[in-house]
Structure 1
Amino acid sequence: MSVRFRLLGELEAHVGGRPVEIRRPRQRGLLSALLTDVNKVVPADVLAERIWGEQLPVNPRNALYSYVSRLRTALGEATVTQRSGGYLLAADAEAVDLHVFLRLLGEAAATGDDREKARLLDRALALWAGEPFAGLDTPWFANLRGALENRRLGAQLDLADLRLRGDRAGELIPELAALAEAHPLDERLRGQLMLALARAGRPGDALREFDRVRRLLAEELGTDPGSALRQVHERILHGDPGRDPAAARPVPQQLPAAPASFVGRAELLAALDHAGAAAGPVAISGPGGIGKTSLALHWAAGKLAEFPDGQLYVNLRGFDPAAESLPVSVAVRGFLHALGVDGAAVPAEPDAQLALYRSLLAGKRVLVVLDNAADTGQVAPLLPGSPACRVLVTSRHRLGGLVATHGARPISLDVLSAGEARELLGRHLGEDRLTAEAATVDELVRLCAGLPLALGIVAARAVTSPELPLRLLAEELRDHAARLDGLDTGEAGLSLRTVFSWSLRHLTPGASALFGLLAPAPGPDIGLPAAAALAGVPSGEARKVLRALENAHLVTRTASGRYRMHDLVRLYASEEAERTLPESARQDALRRVTDFYLQTSWHADHVLEPLAQPIRIAPPRAGVEPQRFAGHADALRWFTEEHACLTAASELAAERGRHTEVWQQVWLLNEFRARQGLLFEREAGARLALAAAERLGDVPAQLIAHRIFASARIFAGHPEAALETLPAALALAERSGDRLQEAHLRYVLAGAWEYHSADYQAERDQCERILGLIEPADDPRLYVKTLDMIGFCHFQWDDRPGARKWLSRAATVAGEHHDIAGEAHALGNLGFVALRDGEWATAINLLERCVGVLRGIGNIRRGAFFLVALGDCYRAAGRPDDARRALHQALDFYRSSPEDSHTKEVETALLALDGCSVPGVLP
């Protein structure tokens, strides 16, 4: 079915030859937003921003889905399709007037034949029937509308230039006069009107037009006409309104050659394409060696036809190790010479030079590449005044000032993917060599960590030494201490150390110090409060320093607000720390940050387990300010975000022999790990804690470590290991007279009997002994769990009255002591009893309450267990959709968890429910 769309005027859509009426503004916005990127996937969040701007609905994705459904109905189901993360409108680009317009402009720019160029421009301009995107007022549509109108004006002026060369210039006067009224400050347009008037025998009107624009420029902008307009004025004064000598000016072609080995970056190249739809520069930022200049030049090489008036390039040397940044005055003089201005004609005053530069670019379509900028101050004066020009800026700084004051679109580079890195090596070395040493190539890719400069250095060394096997290069880079030595070609600028050092030159002493301290900090990244503890400064000061490091691209701030270093940058930072910071300063920083993790873990664990008796830890060290938490969700979020760092901190403490810190950190992580089903981490931590406690000779610590270890082994599917180790731990507890620890160990032993051989009598016996050791006030959580376990034993014996009695007692005691987790668990087990009795409504009510509480406190492991029962209840009650939802939620957890023994059970339940294959499961 044929479709045609109009965007250059009132929105129109024709499907199968008939018009389709689309009345709602948001619906029109959706169609227009998809058509501007026809045949491309537009991410859902990008679409929402285009359609609603800052006035997003409460649930943009749902609203978007609703609008897409209506649009499909109007246009035909196959036209708009949902793809991963977004939507795509499939149509022939030639059926969309906007894309035909842009194609015709590109063809006109590429041809050298004036007659053909005029024909193409005429066709392009004939497509316009009014204001594009009328009634759509979000910032994105406003910017796009402005950019398109600038392209239209540029085409009109190009066409006027061509027609002024003929002998019927007077026919252009009405059109040029109307355009001049609409664009009164456009000097190129005014010059064309003056020439048309003069060539039509009206030189007096032409001179009066010059006086009019001169006064207007002075009143509105406080400037004089530019040199090009003044030259037109001079020629008319001297009676020579002939062909404009500006047409003979050279077209600058200053771009360096695009890198032949460029790979990947498809999303970034697309982002550069999209950025061209709006006015303002594009700021490409990233760390040294990431490929900023390569991206800019590669993109520009494919867009030369869009800039028929030339390309300007300058290296601003913002991070040059051997010279100062290039002065703006030097850069602009170079541009003026490239634009054909004779040296003697260059004004002496810097402001006059910049004004002449902007005048020469007025109305022109020129690409300006400002490479390696130091800061916004170096870039801003070199921005053309003409919206028809495009500007690409590259810098190691983020240039936030350029974004804020000049509307720059920021594009930030990250490392190459493994596939792209391998492709880059292949461009240099050839596929034969890569195939012959495939395993080594994979290792080289990993050691270079996706950094294009590092990969290029490795490739250069391999190419210049073809007799050198790649495995020897890999061995050199494998040595952590010597890796940066291996990433050095011996030439200036082709050493990672040198490149990274250029960024350090611009840092304050405080930023340089934190840069070095971040390298040995435990974990893959760091949060602001931990960084403040590492530096021993308040959070506000740490934030300023981290922002400086981020702006220099020496650290990256993640979407969650954490700070991360590239592997090779971290290696360089470690070297810098050893070179510039005393050993004592580095060790003090590590003690502060690990103490921060310990202190904050204590507060977070107390929020998760408020009824548990907290362990005693030393007061915070000087310079450490622990975090506090408002509730379960807050504490869980912190544990989740910091888990990798907390694990690394306990391992670091073990390496340094800080045994008390080891077992305490492991214990404070235990409840979180248990709730999240992190069994391997829980077991590994318990081994560290047990070794540390034994070295200390600390009996309570040993008993706690035995509890964690035995419990982790049980849930990892090895209850026999718990049965082997627990008797010795119990004997130690009895000898020490620690009744509470003994009770805890017996609870773990009871669970071991259940998981080992389903020996519920042995399990019940241990529970009875626990009740003889403690009272509810001693440890409410343990007491409730014990009652709950006894009730579960009765359930397994099919003694449902007995199960109800014990489980109800557990729920009551839990309620009396505000143990929400224990109460939820008891209610869930009562739901099992009701399910077995066929009391579907009661079972659903109990299990829904249970699952809601457990998920609310982050106990997703136990929540998944009860979700399976809830799914059974829904199915039995004739609610298949609810059953499917509950079972899929449980399956998501079990598929991602080491404790996956329930996976097959849930898959089987879904198969029985659906009568077909489960997604991702072979029947």
Structure 2
Amino acid sequence: MLGPLEVVGQGGALGLGGTRLRAVLATLLLHPGQTVTLGQFARGAWVDPPRAVASNVRTYITQLRSAFAMAGEEASRLATRPEGYSLVVHAGELDLRVFEALVDEADGAVPDAPGRAADRLREAMRLWRGEPLAGLAVGPLLQDEVTRLAERRITVTERWADLALQAGRHDEVADETARQVRLHPLRERLWELLMLALYRSGRQGDALAAYQEAYEVLKEELGVAPRGSLQRLQRQMLAADPALDGPSVAPKSVPAGRRPTRPRQLPPDVPAFTGRAKEIARLDAAALGGGDGSPAIVIVSAIEGTAGVGKTTLAVHWARRIAHRFGDGQLYVNLRGFVPEGEVMSTAEALRGFLDGLGVPPDRVPAGLDAQIGLYRSLLAERRVLVILDNARDARQVRPLLPGAPGCAAVVTSRNRLSGLVAAEGAQPLTLDLLSRMEARELLTRRLGAARVAAESVAADQIIDLCARLPLALAIAAARAITHPELPLAVLAAELRDARGGLDAFAGEDPATDVRAVLSWSYRALSPDAARLFRLLGLHPGPDLAAPAAASLTGDPGRPVRPLLEELTGAHLLTEHRPGRYTFHDLLRGYAAELAELHDTEEERRAARHRLLDHYLHTAYTATMLLEPHAFRPITLTPIRPGAATVPLAGPSEAAGWFTGERQVLLAAVGRASSAGFTTHCWQLAWTLTEFLDRGGHWHEWVASQETALAAAERAGDRTGLLYTCQALVRAYGTLNRPEDAASHMERLRELHADATDVKGPAQHHLRESWIHHLEGRHQRALEESSRALALYQAAGDLYGEAACLNAVGYYLIPYGRAEEGLKCCQEALRIQRDIGDRRGEGATLDSIGLAYRHLGRLAAAKEAYQRCLDVQTELGHRYYQAHALVRIGEIHLDSGTPEAARDAWTAALAILDDLSHPEADAVRAKLHRLGH
């Protein structure tokens, strides 16, 4: 396929006749071992499919079988399926597969052996015989594949050159990249590699001449100069920068954010995994259904069963067993489907975790959930990724997370019957039952040793019966036996018999009625301090926690908490699923909460929750002020309770890292604070999350947390909380382009502002009012409101607010023929912002200055201001504002009589807005259309 389509059988090349027959075969080869439907054939072989697609395809399949038979191939290779046809392709038979396997092998060799990796890529490149599928009359499905393969070829070539340079093969790279830039003269990356290869070969003059040639080609063809990386490389060469002598300066072969990483998110396997052979075989058949063992088209296996039956254990064990079949990575998420309602993981939260795992930078994540789903599935297209969706609540939570591409597979675990997935997505349900008696006995034997189990065979059988063959119960019973080797199994069985009973969640006929007794063994063996910590952990909202949070629950931060956590993990009551982060099973969480109800007073439980929320609130407040001290008006926290610990954070990087690790916990803490009656903690926690969630593109989580906080403040009649949450929701809904929702909260702010007494509060309100009036076209009112806000901020000595208002006043003056006056206001705002280090405000003010210069007819100055604005927004990573600046730059170019430059700026802006799924993209598209593009 990597060139004109060619098939070689035992007797030589096959005569395949016309282009339509070859297009049908190519469509089959795109999906080796998979069923190709009539719809796929129609999109692959025809631009305008005939009405009788079925009969046409049937004719071509018959011709293909005849051609295969004449070449000595088996007729069974091309099989008829209920939904279409499938073609078996064995390992090594398809050049496209061999190509991808060699690329995968190269990726596996990096970074330890760049030379070996380069050899594999060189071997992959030699498989190409020309343009992919050259000479075929193809439909859109095949055309998309041709386009993808052509791009894949050149990116692999660039990757090879990068690795070969690291291996010191400078002359070889120079020769190959010189040929490639003739074929692809607009690929700046190729020019960079050519320059670097020439320079390292001792040909500095040739390298600089290559830069000049690249400059002329790009200016002539695109009307733009080379981008910054190519310019920096030229400057380094002119300065004979020693850094160019080593491989570390070679630019990355793929721009950041363009190529997803290979996630490896699977949790650790369970040692001594036992049984489940039948279920593993069914999973193999479902997800590895291709005739040659290659991944089939998306298969969903819903592993259902009661809590503690081993759904997650099986899913993780199986996934690790076949992970090598999914070389592009494995994604895993615990959806927390059976925690309290407000703490169930949202689809948006899970999706963002997957996008993060796939290496998508936060500033490239679209605003809309549908666009995020589209990005996620696009990243998985043509890749082999295994997705484990653990502990799902229902089909609605899961459906957007399912991959939509061949080569991927998904496994869903749930306590519920996900019949919706079976009906709509063709999921293959796998109900996980209790262990068989043989499997249960094997579990005990592998944990305790064959000799001990054989010596007390009757007692072992009694333990199996009393644990109801539930894997979780058996594992905990085995752990107790292991930690007490002197204790006969008969004594353990007697203890279990005497303590019969069940957790409330498993009452009635549920087979897990004896789990409480088993759990009590481990609990009763704990030291008093560890037992108390275990109970208090049941108050934590989850999904996991670090040591400072555990210390805050105990209320004794001076005493090391890690020994207690180690005691709990040793008793199998807690798991350190990541270094320094602890979690436990839902059954254990429920059991711990039950024990807290029994043994700790309401006052003690509330005090522990208070300390825990203080821990998160005060640490999050510190973190958000480190990230962006000018982002919000600071709130006032109540003093932290004695016994609550905080995490020391040294700077913005540590703050961002802490937020990243605790994001899910903080979102759950907002919900828990609301349900437990900690109203102030609820809205203040939501406030601290605003900057981090906004920067990371977690906009749906931002709205959800603020709505939770708003509801809590409304119930408690907390006017301060209402003010802050309404302010945040105005901004959040505006970011999501939901103006009606933003306006409704602005109306609420007007009501709340009526009797406000704080000076800065009304100032903020007047500034927001000015923005609303501006959006509604009441520009005079906007100017009046911003002037009122300016006076209040100046009276309060608030430089941040004063600068923001000066910019607003200046901006609103400009359209009234007062551009000079407006420019002076904005220039004064810029001076203040630079003095106080307000980079965000500086970017906004530079935009206003550009507008003022444009109104004054000073186009060169306007362009410079907008360019500086673009630089600031790029530095801050605010992609929407980058697009806004590019739109303005394009308008200046058009005013200056350079429409091609305007086209380039608007094209760049449109790419960003489309990537963000922002509605302003249509306006930019219309601008380009008017230019004839």
Which bin holds the TM-score, normalised by the shorter protein? 0.3 to 0.5
- TM-score normalized by structure 1? 0.46
Q: Report which structure shows greater RCO (CA 8 Å, sep ≥6).
A: 2
Which of 1 and 2 has greater Rg? 1
